[in-house]
Structure 1
Amino acid sequence: MHTEIPALMIIDMQKGMADASAGPRNNPDAEGNIAALLDAWRRADARVVHVRHISRTPGSPFWPGQPGVEFQERLAPLPGEHVVEKNVPDAFIHSGLERWLHARGITQLVIVGVSTNNSVEATARTAGNLGFHTQVVSDATFAFDKVDYSGTKRSADEVHAMSLANLEGEYAVITDTQRLLSI
């Protein structure tokens, strides 16, 4: 049994993700659940990592200098909380994140944020492959509607559920906010 408090990793909770133009999504309470977890981690003086996507596509809401690239206010980092900037879905790629975690002896991660089937899944897969004990919080992550490869429109709930199924057991343990807050 691991006794260390895992680092809380909050992925891409930027203003652009809260914009209606992002499309239909699931888990409307995800931001509240992330905020509750963030508050618990801060009260425990545990490690928090904020991940911010910086787009390489001009005109993207996540392009530097655009309002969408900024953190959502209630989830913004405090001084001393680590910020990782990425420009691909996986927060470990070209970011120094793995080195930062190892230098602090962190072996466990709790991942929240958006989107479940993109940055959350990519980061959780790498975390699991690198040997981190990883948990993904099902109700503190969310996805958007997406058309699958065969042309069938999938609801955000379907996309989210499939992504969690892809991760469960092999790369991460899937949990929920209440379970984490009751520990």
Structure 2
Amino acid sequence: MPDPLPALIVVDVQRAFDEWEAAGKRRNNPDAVARIVDLLAAFRASGAPIFHVRHEGTKPNSTFLPSRSGYAVKDEAREQGGEPVIVKRVNSAFIGTDLETRLRASDIATLVICGATTNHCVETTTRMAGNLGFNAQLVRDATWTFDRIGADGETHAAESIHAMTLSNLNGEFARIVTTNEVIASLKAVRQ
């Protein structure tokens, strides 16, 4: 019996990040959401499972509080009929949720992970996926992050943070892939 199709895990594609940008935070990978839209279309066309992850803030000033506009998912990445939404309160989509139980119950071994931000919730979810024994694939052009101030006060560019995160995950926790590679792989499985 062939392996089941991979599952797409879409992490935190929420409006809070648009608000951060509007407030002047600089990000990398401006086409990431368009690539996520491409992945959603390909997974839907192949009948492969999709899990949407949404971050629910817990601190009073969080832009991800359910009562705030930033909690809402971006329209282009919204779930469709029957696609589950996993709500998390920490960085990993596996902690305090039933994501792992759902994946195991469906015998899903391969996870294709995309979303925001590369070095926070995407990285933490990807690391845990690898540690839990899933075949994790992180889609490099379908995730993004923002400039950060380091402990030394130095500004680190989003592009550098993104690249370092991918380097840290590559090989040990996940295979780093592109949207085109994932879509080609899905098409090959369907044939």
TM-score band, normalised by the shorter chain?
over 0.9
Match of 2:139 among 137, 146, 152: 137
Quick check: 57-66 or 43-52, which moved more?
A: 57-66
**1:147 Cα deviation (Å)?**
1.7
Task: Note the 1:1-183 alignment, pairs <5 A.
Answer: 3-19=3-19, 20=21, 21=23, 23-183=25-185
Question: How big is the shift at 1:179?
Answer: 1.4
Taking structure 1 as the reference length, the TM-score comes to: 0.96
Secondary structure of 1:27's partner? coil
Deviations 1:108-131 (A, max 9, x none): 100000000000000000000000
SS of equivalent to 2:124: helix
Structure-2 change in CA distance of 1:22 and 1:132 (3 Å) = farther
What is the Cα deviation at residue 139 of structure 1? 0.4
- Where in structure 1 do 4 or more consecutive aligned residues deviate above 3 Å? none
Q: Measure how far apart 1:165 and its partner are.
A: 0.7
Gaps of 5+ in 1: none
**Which residue identity lines up with residue 142 of structure 2 in the other structure?**
A
**Identical aligned pairs, as a percentage?**
41
Taking the aligned partners of 2:55 and 2:81, their CA distance within structure 1 comes to: 19
RMSD: 1.2
Q: Distance in 2 between matches of 1:137 and 1:174?
A: 6
Taking the aligned partners of 1:77 and 1:40, their CA distance within structure 2 comes to: 14
> Residue type of the partner of 2:183?
L
CA distance in 2, matches of 1:161, 1:147: 16
Question: 5+ residue gaps in structure 2?
Answer: 186-191
Q: Distance in 2 between matches of 1:46 and 1:111?
A: 13
Q: Distance in 1 between matches of 2:76 and 2:24?
A: 19
For the residue of structure 2 that corresponds to 1:50, the secondary structure is strand
